[in-house]
Each structure stands twice: as C-alpha cells, then as structure tokens.
C-alpha cells in the first residue's frame, strides 16, 4: 500500500540530541546507545521530552551517515557533553507515515522522492524520522509507525 504523502508547514522545534557519523551497519546499535544516553541525561536533569524520539539524517557518504538522534524539548536547553541542543527545522516539508519494519523505510523514502519529482519539488539533503511507536512495547515490527519528514526548497 502506498503511503499518503503531503506537503505541510512546520514550526522549528527545540531539541536535545547526540550527533555522530555512523556506518550504516551500526545504525541500530548506535541509536539504542544514543537513546540510552539521552534518557539518562533527561532523568538526571529532570527534563521531560516534548514529543517522540527522532533521527535527523544530515548527509550520507562513504564514511557513513551523519545522524543526530534526539528528543524534542519544550524550550531551549544547554545540553552537556555529547548531548547538545539542536532544532528540528521548520518550513515547508514533505511528510508521510511509514507503517512496518524500519528495514523497509527505504522503499517509503523512494516513494517520497518519486512523488516530489512528479510535483516539481526539490528535496533538501536533510531529512528526519519520528518514531511514533516504541519497539519495547510494540513487539510486531509490521506495526511500527514512523513519521518521515523531508524539507523542500
């Protein structure tokens, strides 16, 4: 089933995240590590996430994926160590919802690219995913829900 793809306007969202260049094969392990570090930081500082976790993909290259894993927060925060403030971008964004395993996200991204090409939209390099289901609670990967966001020129 093809996802419903649309263009929306978003406001920027303050966040705290860990950014690193990660080889593709290590992404699942690194994401788990980063989310663990972030949750420890949030608990230590008494900070509550203001929404579900996300991963921003800044760039893909031969050295790996330049990715930033984090949580939105209610307002600007300082961060500490590897936990740094960042902003989920605002502006014009193509979005859709992927239902199913993370391993099949690439197919949904391809559908988004084809849709943008048909609409004459130029995607920016940066894109992000928002994890709307918790794999610790939703055991069946076919039921994972992931929001995909891709800013356009």
State pLDDT tens for residues 54-98.
999 998 877 789 999 999 999 999 999 999 999 999 999 999 999
Q: Which domain holds residue 56?
A: 6-151
Could you tell me the pLDDT band of residue 141, with boundaries at 50, 70 and 90? very high
Tell me, yes or no, whether 13 lies in a domain: yes
Six-digit token string for 150: 């891709």
Tell me, yes or no, whether 32 lies in a domain: yes
CATH number at residue 132: 3.20.80.10
Tell me, yes or no, whether 1 lies in a domain: no
Tell me, yes or no, whether 74 lies in a domain: yes
Q: Taking a C-beta distance cutoff of 8 angstroms, is the pair 96, 6 a contact?
A: yes
How many domains does the chain fold into? Answer: 1
pLDDT at 115: 96
Tell me, yes or no, whether 22 lies in a domain: yes
């Amino acid at each position: 089933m093809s996802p419903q793809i649309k263009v929306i306007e978003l406001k920027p969202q303050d966040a705290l995240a860990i950014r690193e260049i990660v080889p593709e094969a290590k992404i699942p392990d690194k994401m788990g590590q980063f989310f663990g570090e972030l949750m420890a930081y949030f608990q230590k500082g008494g900070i509550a996430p203001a929404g579900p976790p996300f991963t921003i993909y800044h760039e893909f290259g031969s050295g790996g994926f330049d990715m930033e894993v984090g949580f939105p927060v209610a307002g600007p925060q300082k961060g500490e160590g590897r936990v740094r403030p960042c902003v989920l971008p605002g502006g014009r964004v193509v979005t859709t919802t992927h239902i199913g395993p993370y391993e099949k996200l690439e197919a949904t991204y391809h559908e988004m690219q084809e849709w943008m090409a048909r609409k004459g939209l130029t995607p920016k390099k940066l894109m992000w995913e928002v994890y709307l289901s918790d794999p610790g609670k939703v055991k069946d990967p076919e039921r994972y829900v992931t929001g995909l966001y891709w800013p356009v020129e």
